[in-house]
Amino acid sequence: MKSILTQSQRKFYAENGYLVLENQVSVRDCASMVQQAERLVENLKTEWDHSIFTTQEQERQSNQYFLDSGGKIRVFMEEGVASTQGDTHRVNKLGHALHDLDPIFRKFSYQARWHQIAQEIGLQQAGLLQSMYIFKQPRIGGEVNIHQDATFLYTEPISVMGFWFAMQDATLENGCLWALPGGHRLGLKQRFVRGGWAVQMKTLDTTPLPGEGYVPLEVPAGSLVLLHGLLPHYSEANHSAVPRQAYALHVIDQESEYPADNWLQRGEQMPIKGFMDNRKNP
């Protein structure tokens, strides 16, 4: 089979922990996902405020709403933005099983092309664990602090990698990704775990992630950014008048161990499948 990635692209990923591939998603596919995400937000209107809390009981429910989202499609709102009825601009993201539960996202996610790309950068048995649709709303979309994806999607051994698809141009102004070249060699610093309905950050290594040396990944709509699960990355707030929507899909090695205290649990009804297995989950 003809390779998708060149030798030098594979080398770049191995050395830097990320790789930008432009022109991977058609204009038509981007448009249909943008539209579908809008539809999902509208359908989830009654749940909009589940992710915002004030009292302890509400906090418990809010945590539950988040903790149950591994095998569902749920909606999460921007923090600190006043609620106005009918204001879709408060929506931060949808998560975390769009790839299994929504027909448009399922069709897009389960593709032989992504399977081949995963294999070419060294993930032989990729399983589709989690997906998010990120809105990064104009002037509202907040920053995402420096983190490693393996903190949230931990396996033993560590295997998570991200497929980050730009639905719209990502620029310095609207909050593109920033990545630390080579930072995937620094080891995992923290793990985000659950205990009952609570979640907590567990420190594994007290040396902090570097605060400098990051490069912006400005990419046009239709680009795919591959991110190693240990690569430190972040994004700034959207200061512009245009959205910066992205679809992020996270895969793990199906042979790896998935701990029961990971915050994200899909439930028994939702076994993890590979890119080539587009069977519908119940």
Task: Select 48 or 155, whichever has its Cβ closest to Fe ion.
Answer: 155
Least distance (Å) between residue 233 CB and Fe ion:
6
Task: Name residues contacting Fe ion, limited to 176-235 (CB under 5 A).
Answer: none
Residue with structure tokens 């809390």? 53
Q: Which residues lie below 8 Å from residue 48, measured CB to CB, with a gap of 6+?
A: 75, 77, 83, 90, 91
Residue with structure tokens 């679809």? 247
Q: Which residues lie below 8 Å from residue 223, measured CB to CB, with a gap of 6+?
A: 20, 21, 22, 23, 24, 25, 165, 166, 170
Task: Select 5 or 249, whichever has its Cβ closest to Fe ion.
Answer: 249
Q: How far from chain centre, in Å, is Cα 30?
A: 16
Task: Select 102 or 149, whichever has its Cβ closest to Fe ion.
Answer: 149
Among 100, 149, 236, 253, binds Fe ion (CB under 5 A): 149
Q: Which residue is nearest to Fe ion (CB)?
A: 149
Q: Which of 185, 140, 194, 130 is nearest to 160 (CA)?
A: 130
Stretch that binds Fe ion, among 115-123, 134-142, 146-154, 206-214 (CB under 5 A): 146-154
Q: What is the CA radius of gyration of the chain?
A: 18
Task: Select 48 or 183, whichever has its Cβ closest to Fe ion.
Answer: 183
Task: Select 105 or 163, whichever has its Cβ closest to Fe ion.
Answer: 163
Judge whether 94 and 73 are in contact, CB under 8 Å: yes
Query: Count residues contacting Fe ion (CB under 5 A)?
Result: 1
| 251: number of Cβ within 10 Å | 28
Least distance (Å) between residue 186 CB and Fe ion:
15
Stretch that binds Fe ion, among 94-102, 149-157, 200-208, 213-221 (CB under 5 A): 149-157
Task: Give the ranges where the chain is alpha helix by DSSP (H).
Answer: 7-16, 27-43, 56-67, 98-101, 103-109, 112-120, 149-152
Task: Select 162 or 222, whichever has its Cβ closest to Fe ion.
Answer: 162
Stretch that binds Fe ion, among 3-11, 39-47, 73-81, 143-151 (CB under 5 A): 143-151
Q: Does 236 bind Fe ion (CB under 5 A)?
A: no
Least distance (Å) between residue 228 CB and Fe ion:
11
Residues found near Fe ion in the complex (CB under 5 A)? 149
